[in-house]
């Protein structure tokens, strides 16, 4: 295969205030890199757009460094090795790595994980069988300490993480699984396709009222992807000794003035446990996650969707659309 001398990548043009716009990104034609010793040249097939990338667009201290203005962005991607200077990797291998947002990447072999497109489609390694799926699994089981018979509420339930979290709860024996999402189509997806017991559109009315109606006997576990009024509603619906996995707070990512829960005081009397977590600390569940969720995907008992945008030039649009709720399931960009 003859390699091109240049290829496209997306740079951060400027930092957004509020919701990002396409003007914050720049499509740049750059030389295809030459892999050094111990590196692979990878032609990316698919890349991930994730909510946490919004935080990296700010110039702010966080658990992960900010993107740099004028430089290429990064994130999860799966691609095919087209040249290898590293033992153990050959041309044609397919690898998961962290140099997305570009068509060709020079990747350290140490940062490349081989994946088998014969076991699952490459997209799945960025979604249901990848970081978001494992986040759902670890958050529900490890962080919230889910137990059979719990009533579980999942917000952002029709997204990459939420769609898995709700189904793991169902398949592990939840008494009732309730989800919230931002459209009637998503609500129907949750109930009709994924087997949630109840779901509501949080845009239809106060979250607290809708949650109370959907879970009349209260909730035991809350998987929080949204924060703000959703977390507040969960505090009010919690039964005694309820447990929340604080996974994300996307309702506050694009506002300079975040909304916090007003009913945190209820945590005292109800003896609640509210635990934040980062998936990077839960590597120990990977084996069990891959076996159990992989098995459910293979036998069809766990279903999932992806929203796939084609072309690196549309990656900013896919990212912005995901932040606004255009996606059902994992948002991906094929290159
Ligand atoms: P999703 O696939 O769920 O996409 C984001 C979704 O957020 C949108 O589709 C939209 O759906 C919803 N959303 C946007 N704005 C709002 C709002 N104001 N209120 C409620 N919902 C909103 O993304 P992921 O599944 O990848 O991520 C879900 C959450 O998990 C995020 O908070 C993310 O930061 C977090 N996360 C945390 C990790 C960790 O280690 N702690 C790891 C991975 C993800 P809708 O139409 O329903 O509004």
Kindly state the average pLDDT of the residues 289-316: 98
pLDDT > 70 fraction of the chain, expressed in percent and rounded: 100
- Determine the topology of domain 6-127+305-334 in CATH: Quinone Oxidoreductase; Chain A, domain 1 (3.90.180)
The pLDDT, as a whole number, for residue 2 is 87
The pLDDT, as a whole number, for residue 132 is 98
Neighbours of 299 (CB within 10 A): 8
The pLDDT, as a whole number, for residue 61 is 84
CATH of domain 131-281: 3.40.50.720
Kindly state the average pLDDT of the residues 23-39: 98
Distance 126 CA to ligand 1 centre (A): 15
- Domain limits, the chain: 6-127+305-334, 131-281
Instruction: Tell me the pLDDT tens digit for each residue of 74-108.
Output: 999 999 999 999 999 999 999 999 999 999 999 99
Ligand 1 atom at minimal distance to the Cα of residue 280? 40
Protein residue closest via CA to atom 17 of ligand 1 = 251
Please report, for residues 14, 24, 208, 256, the alpha-carbon distance to residue 59 in angstroms, rounded to integers and kept in the order given: 10, 13, 34, 13
Distance 321 CA to ligand 1 centre (A): 12
103: nearest Cα among 25, 1, 6, 2: 6
d(CA 132, CA 96): 14
d(CA 81, CA 79): 7
ipTM over 0.95: yes
Distance 295 CA to ligand 1 centre (A): 25
Q: What residues are in contact with ligand 1 under a 6 Å CB criterion?
A: 50-52, 132, 135, 156, 158-162, 181-183, 186, 225-226, 247-248, 250-251, 277-279, 322-323, 325, 327, 331
207: nearest Cα among 177, 178, 176: 178
User: CA-based angle 62:63:66, to the nearest 5?
Assistant: 55
């Amino acid at each position: 295969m003859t390699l091109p001398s240049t290829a496209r990548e997306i740079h951060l043009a400027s930092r957004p205030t509020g919701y990002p716009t396409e003007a914050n990104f720049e499509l740049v034609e750059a030389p295809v890199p030459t892999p050094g010793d111990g590196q692979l040249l990878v032609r990316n097939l698919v890349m991930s757009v994730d909510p946490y990338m919004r935080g990296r667009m700010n110039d702010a201290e966080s658990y992960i460094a900010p993107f740099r203005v004028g430089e290429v962005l990064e994130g999860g991607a799966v691609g095919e090795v087209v040249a290898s200077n590293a033992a153990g990797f050959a041309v044609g291998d397919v690898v998961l790595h962290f140099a997305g947002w570009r068509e060709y990447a020079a990747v350290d072999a140490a940062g490349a994980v081989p994946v088998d497109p014969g076991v699952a489609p490459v997209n799945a390694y960025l979604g249901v069988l990848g970081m978001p799926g494992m986040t759902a699994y670890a958050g529900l089981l490890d962080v919230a300490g889910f137990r059979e018979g719990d009533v579980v509420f999942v917000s952002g339930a029709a997204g990459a993480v939420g769609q898995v979290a709700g189904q793991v709860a169902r398949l592990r024996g939840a008494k009732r699984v309730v989800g919230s999402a931002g459209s009637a189509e998503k609500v129907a997806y949750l109930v009709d396709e994924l087997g949630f017991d109840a779901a509501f559109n949080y845009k239809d009315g106060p979250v607290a009222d809708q949650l109370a109606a959907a879970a009349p006997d209260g909730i035991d576990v809350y998987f929080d992807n949204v924060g703000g009024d959703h977390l507040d509603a969960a505090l009010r619906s919690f039964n005694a000794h309820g447990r929340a996995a604080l996974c994300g707070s996307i309702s506050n990512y694009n506002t300079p003035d975040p909304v916090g829960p007003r009913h945190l005081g209820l945590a005292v009397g109800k003896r609640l446990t509210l635990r934040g977590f980062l998936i990077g600390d839960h590597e120990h569940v990977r084996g069990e996650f891959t076996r159990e969720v992989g098995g459910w995907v293979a036998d069809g008992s766990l279903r999932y969707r992806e929203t796939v945008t084609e072309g690196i030039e549309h990656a900013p649009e896919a990212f912005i659309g995901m932040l606004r709720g255009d996606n059902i399931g994992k948002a991906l960009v094929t290159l």
